[in-house]
Amino acid sequence: MKILGIETSCDETGAAVIEGKTKDQPVQLLSNVVATSLAKHAQTGGIIPEIAAREQVKYILPVVTEALTNANLSIERPDIDVIAVTYGPGLIGSLLVGVETAKTLSLLWDIPLIPVNHLYGHIYASFISEDSGLDSTHVRETIPQFPALSLVVSGGHTDLVLLRGHMDTEVIGGTRDDAAGEAFDKIGRLLGLSYPAGPVISKLAEQGNPKAFMLPRPMWDSKDFDFSFSGLKTSVFNLTKKHAWDFSNGQNKQLLADLCASVQQAIIDVLVQKTLQAVKKYNVQSLVIGGGVSANSRLREKFDLEVIRLFDKNVTVYFPTPILSTDNAAMIASAGFYRDNTLSWKEVTADPELYY
Ligand code: KG4
Ligand code: ZN
């Protein structure tokens, strides 16, 4: 079965083609195209929804055309079985571009639609047969086995989701305030770094000492699986104010690197601690990490090491290949294949507030 995926929930415009054979093996990626309006948002330090939506309109048809062409498919009447499209959560203007395009193509080509929840997309990025480019613990020949636990860490979400089957899921924890990616972005803004700050902090942290500053590990000991990251942001704010640090014009380079390394470590420590407690409690076979923050190499290393240390080979960790950690349409097509709730175009509408 060939699926065209379309993703436009925020500032990325994605289209991809995947091929799935059976649900007990990974899907194959035939093409994956992502255009982003990030450069425009970097200038304003955050996403302006109206600008993101206008850029989506500009990119959508070229991106879909390129994805089909790269998969050697005709753009007139491609040989695909279904279109999977993100219908939420996200920015309404951006979502509408993908949803209405998918509905139009569905009508034009007489192909059904699968509406996909973006959050499940991040989970199913790890069901795509792509080498993660890291070490051999990132198995690609197999898919995660149930029961599995998923940590979705993105700009808007930090959720722990228990997966008993493709359509049997339960949210067991989430953030009470900022998401992990949001914490990276907001702290980056405090430090004068460009948006999105996650990758920038991660790069600067390579030269820094993660033990230089003892930052809080919020909710470390709480008996639930919830997170909180807004206190960390306040601590960094207070620290920079107290010492009147100035990072403009490349000043205090080592200090900035140390601060970035300490911030990154604090976020990772809490994510790993809480997630592994849940792995233990629910006795899962697989741990599936997805969302933009899962591109972080230090986070990957720490999860790999700790899972081996605590569970040996009884639990397998799955990460998407790094380019599929951030928003893309391949993960949407993948979720469409395994969750497979095919509808007519008339039944699909965008839902910006969608949850699991
Ligand atoms: O999943 P995503 O592309 O979009 C949402 O659905 O939100 O995630 C974007 C988030 C941003 O907050 C960004 O700073 C963060 O992922 N991010 C990272 C890294 N790459 C992206 N955070 C930490 N380290 C990274 N390497
Ligand atoms: Zn996302």
Q: Is the CB of 119 under 6 A from ligand 1?
A: no
What's the CA-to-centroid distance between 238 and ligand 1, angstroms? Answer: 24
Looking from the CA of residue 326, the nearest atom of ligand 1 is 3
What's the CA-to-centroid distance between 255 and ligand 2, angstroms? Answer: 31
φ, ψ for residue 278 (rounded to 5)?
-70, -35
Ligand nearest to the CA of 264: 1
Confidence (pLDDT) at 152: 98
Helix-helix angle 49-70:92-109, to 10 degrees: 30
Confidence (pLDDT) at 37: 84
Q: Would the pLDDT of 63 be above 80?
A: yes
Q: Is the CB of 93 under 6 A from ligand 1?
A: no
Confidence (pLDDT) at 270: 97
Ligand nearest to the CA of 121: 2
pLDDT category of residue 137 using cuts at 50, 70 and 90: very low
Q: Is the CB of 327 under 6 A from ligand 1?
A: yes
Mean pLDDT, the chain, whole residue set: 94
What's the CA-to-centroid distance between 294 and ligand 2, angstroms? Answer: 11
Q: Provide the residues around ligand 2 (an ion) whose CB is within 5 A.
A: 154, 327
Work out the percent of the chain whose per-residue pLDDT is above 90. 88
**Whole-angstrom distance, CA of residue 2 vs CA of residue 193:** 41
> Which tokens is 201 given?
């902090």
The pLDDT tens digits of the residues spanning 195-249 come to 999 999 999 999 999 999 999 999 998 999 999 999 999 999 999 999 998 888 7
Q: Would the pLDDT of 131 be above 60?
A: no
What's the CA-to-centroid distance between 61 and ligand 2, angstroms? Answer: 21
> Which tokens is 230 given?
């807004």
Q: Is the CB of 154 under 6 A from ligand 1?
A: yes
Asked if omega into 147 is within 30° of 0 (cis), the reply is yes
Start-to-end C-alpha separation, the chain: 25
**Whole-angstrom distance, CA of residue 285 vs CA of residue 215:** 32
Confidence (pLDDT) at 8: 98
Mean per-residue pLDDT, 60-68: 98
Q: What is the pTM of this model?
A: 0.95
Burial string for 282-319 (b: 16+ CB within 10 Å, else e) reads bebebbbbbbbbbbbebbbebbbebbeeebeeebbbbb
The pLDDT tens digits of the residues spanning 16-52 come to 999 999 999 999 999 999 998 888 877 777 889 999 9
Mean per-residue pLDDT, 250-256: 90
What's the CA-to-centroid distance between 8 and ligand 2, angstroms? Answer: 10
Ligand nearest to the CA of 181: 1
Confidence (pLDDT) at 132: 46
Q: To test ligand 1's pocket by mutation, which of 8, 175, 326, 355 has the most ligand atoms within 8 angstroms of CB? A: 326
C-beta of residue 179 within 8 angstroms of C-beta of residue 309 = no
The pLDDT tens digits of the residues spanning 155-197 come to 999 999 999 999 999 999 999 999 999 999 999 999 999 999 9
Q: Is the CB of 350 under 6 A from ligand 1?
A: no
